[in-house]
Structure 1
Amino acid sequence: MNAVVFAYHDVGVRCLKVLLARGIRVSLVVTHEDNPNENIWFASVAETCREYGITFVTPEDPNSAKLLSQVQAAKPDFIFSFYYRHMLPVGLLSEARYGAYNMHGSLLPKYRGRVPINWAVLHGETETGATLHEMAAKPDAGAIVAQTAVPILPDDTAHEVFCKVVVAAEQTLWNVLPAMLAGRTPKLPNDLSKGSYFGGRKPEDGRIDWKKPAQQVHNLVRTVAPPYPGAFEEIAGDKITLARTRLVPTSARAALERTHGAQDKFFEGGRLYARCGDGNYLQIMGILINDQDVSLNNYLKYMAV
């Protein structure tokens, strides 16, 4: 079997390697040029292609006539998309003899659209996963082929969950490929009425509102913790980014209130705490000041501001 693969990021690298391990000939890979303004903390599909001697291209526009010609020349049995960042035109998808399939980082139909892992963490989900599905004209709307779930623990950051989803994507593809290659691709319903769609997120979306409940602030910190842009506030002209927080148990609330009253931020026993809009507390476990990782004690100069 022969495949054309659209891929980027860690999921792109791992799923590309799964195809090779299952004996699929990858005649062409379509990937992205790295953005010099982006924090590139993930593996390179282009470098993987160089390592394995696979032809790859990095077109700016997946709708270009040139790319369509390249895909047609490859005569793919399958087209796969693994964390490629653009929607693929229906005309291109139809070039695959046995179908075109995408790996999405959620348990569809929940969290269709952009950055699904970050949205799942922000909304306090306790589970997400990876879904292989047919590609269609609408994003993440085709029939489900296979899914693998992973847990989201209470203090997991989006990056930690992403690492789990990478493994889930690899397992999902590895387990279902034999059936697909034998012509028995599963087709399960993807009922969009039972799901949700979300757009992209901007760095400004990480601004902290301390009037919100502690759980919501904690979820925001987890959602955008490094290597993402971070949850932040601005004090005295400096940008203060929270790298990690932890919810303080409700049972400890009364003792903190007796000692510190309605004080918004304070040190207690060498630990830095913040009081949120619902009266509950977060322990701040790491900060960056103007994007530089510093000791929590560096926060002292802001406490009287």
Structure 2
Amino acid sequence: MKPRAVVFAYHNVGVRCLQVLLARGVDVALVVTHEDSPTENIWFGSVASVAAEHGIPVVTPADAKSPELRARVVDARPDFIFSFYYRHMLPVDLLAVAPRGAYNMHGSLLPKYRGRVPTNWAVLNGETETGATLHEMAAKPDAGAIIAQTPVPILPDDTAAQVFDKVTVAAEQTLWRALPALLKGEAPHLPNDLAHGSYFGGRKPEDGRIDFSQNGQQVYNLIRAVAPPYPGAFTDIGDTRFVVARARLAPPGAPGGDLPPGIHVGDNGFFATCGDGRVIVIHELRHQRDDQHHNSERVVTPAEFTQLTQSSRNT
């Protein structure tokens, strides 16, 4: 008899891990996911679409703690509960519905980077490695026993989106490798020593504001960590907002390091000087406009940038 599961999932990791369960012969009785927000840039795959293609019932509750959701999960009679990038914590009494365990896929090498948006935090902090961890769910976030992990490198110029693509593959590989033993009840449950880790909260678009008085590596890490399709690192000149969409940290001693911190125009291009004299070459700069409560962006040329900043400073 096939093992039965209820799957809580969203985003690309949710898509790929749901497909792994199906490929491994798991009977997915119910998928719980999120309604896409009209205010969010939906650049990732749809868990609901994958479930629909396989004839799996889908629900999108607003509250993971609702009695109605718990009743649906109980009715599904799962052996396992899995959570793959589902955005809400699941209550302990719901986890207990699955007699053979409840497991989550997290986008870091636990116990490091517990909590929200771990890939973005890892890039922001200049890490050179992250990965994916399959672990047992517990009352605290990302605190249960570790089942399996797969590391991936973070290269010096990787954006968070590029790293997230690697983490998605690592999540798929981790689940594929660990699932046979997990379904047999033979998977190792390794310690998740929280004393050697760290917890990080969510990030808001405002957290992408650039402080050019910081050193070049710090500024560049922020640009990489929130580069599109995330909201982007930005600076305000007067009342005009500019988003640094693509950039590269120049070697020490690059021309322009003696200029004041901020964005400058030179050689028909853009660069930014940081507090330590390091220079960031800007390959794509966008002007962000608030058009009836909806942000729109367009790429600007050096001439347009000069015109916009002059008019902004004069108002």
TM-score, length basis structure 2: 0.92
Three-state SS of the structure 2 residue aligned to 1:95 is: coil
Using the alignment, how far apart are the partners of 1:263 and 1:67 within structure 2?
53
Superposed CA deviations along residues 161-202 of structure 1, whole A, max 9, x for unmatched, are 111111000000001111111211211110000000010111
Aligned ranges 1:193-272 → 2 under 5 Å: 193-250=195-252, 252-253=253-254, 255-257=255-257, 262=260, 264-272=262-270
Tell me the residue number matched to 2:275: 277
Q: Displacement, 1:292?
A: 2.1
Shift of 1:268: 3.8
Amino acid at match of 1:221: I
2:270/2:283 contact within 8 Å kept: yes
Aligned partner of 1:288: which letter? R
Which residue number corresponds to residue 51 of structure 1? 53
The alpha-carbon deviation at position 266 of structure 1 amounts to 3.4
Cα distance between partner residues in 2 of 1:64 and 1:55:
18
* Alpha-carbon contact 1:148-1:168 (below 8 Å) kept: yes
Trace 1:17-32 onto structure 2 (pairs within 5 A): 17-32=19-34
Tell me whether 1:289 sits opposite 2:291 in the alignment. Answer: no
Q: Which residue of 2 aligns with 1:300?
A: 306
Q: Distance in 2 between matches of 1:261 and 1:63?
A: 55
Distance in 1 separating the partners of 2:70 and 2:297:
45
Shift of 1:238: 1.5
Closer/same/farther in 2, CA of residues 60 and 82 from structure 1, 3 Å limit: same
Contact 2:261 2:275 in 1 (8 A): no
AA matched with 2:5:
A
Taking the aligned partners of 2:40 and 2:259, their CA distance within structure 1 comes to 42
Provide the rounded CA distance (Å) in 2 between the counterparts of 1:123 and 1:133. 24
1:62-73 superposed matches below 5 A: 62-73=64-75
Task: Please state how far the C-alpha of 1:157 moved relative to its aligned partner.
Answer: 0.7
After superposing on structure 2, the runs of 4+ consecutive aligned residues of structure 1 that deviate more than 4 Å are 260-264, 302-305
Q: Is the 8 A contact 2:7 2:81 kept in 1?
A: yes
Residue 12 of structure 1, aligned match among 8, 11, 14: 14
267 and 238 in structure 1: CA distance in 2 versus 1, 3 angstrom threshold: closer
* Count of residue pairs the alignment pairs up: 301
Q: What is the aligned partner in structure 2 of residue 187 from structure 1?
A: 189
CA contact (8 A) 2:259 2:273 kept: no
Deviation at 1:101, TM superposition (A): 0.1
Contact 1:265 1:303 in 2 (8 A): no
Instruction: Determine the C-alpha separation between the residues in 1 that align with 2:18 and 2:260.
Output: 54
Instruction: Name the SS for the 1:69 alignment partner.
Output: helix
The one-letter code sitting in structure 1 at the alignment partner of 2:159 is T
Confirm or deny: 8 A CA contact 2:237 2:309 kept in the other structure.
no
Q: Distance in 1 between matches of 2:122 and 2:81?
A: 28
What is the SS of the residue equivalent to 2:52?
helix
- Equivalent residue runs for 1:103-114 within 5 Å: 103-114=105-116
State which of 102, 105, 117 in structure 1 corresponds to 2:104.
102
Quick check: 1:208–1:233 contact (8 Å CA) kept in 2? yes
Secondary structure at 1:220 match in 2: helix
Question: Which is further off, 290-299 or 30-39?
Answer: 290-299
Any idea what the Cα deviations from partners look like across 1:142-174, whole Å, max 9, x if unmatched? 000000011111111111111111100000000
Ranges in structure 1 where 5+ consecutive residues have no aligned partner? none
Question: Residues 172-183 of structure 1 correspond to what in structure 2 (within 5 A)?
Answer: 172-183=174-185
Q: Distance in 1 between matches of 2:208 and 2:261?
A: 23
TM-score under structure 1 length normalisation: 0.95
Deviates more, 1:111-120 or 1:60-69: 60-69
Cα distance in 1, alignment partners of residues 264 and 97 from structure 2: 62
The one-letter code of the counterpart of 1:285 is H
1:58-85 deviations in Å (ceiling 9; x for gaps): 1111111111111111111110000001
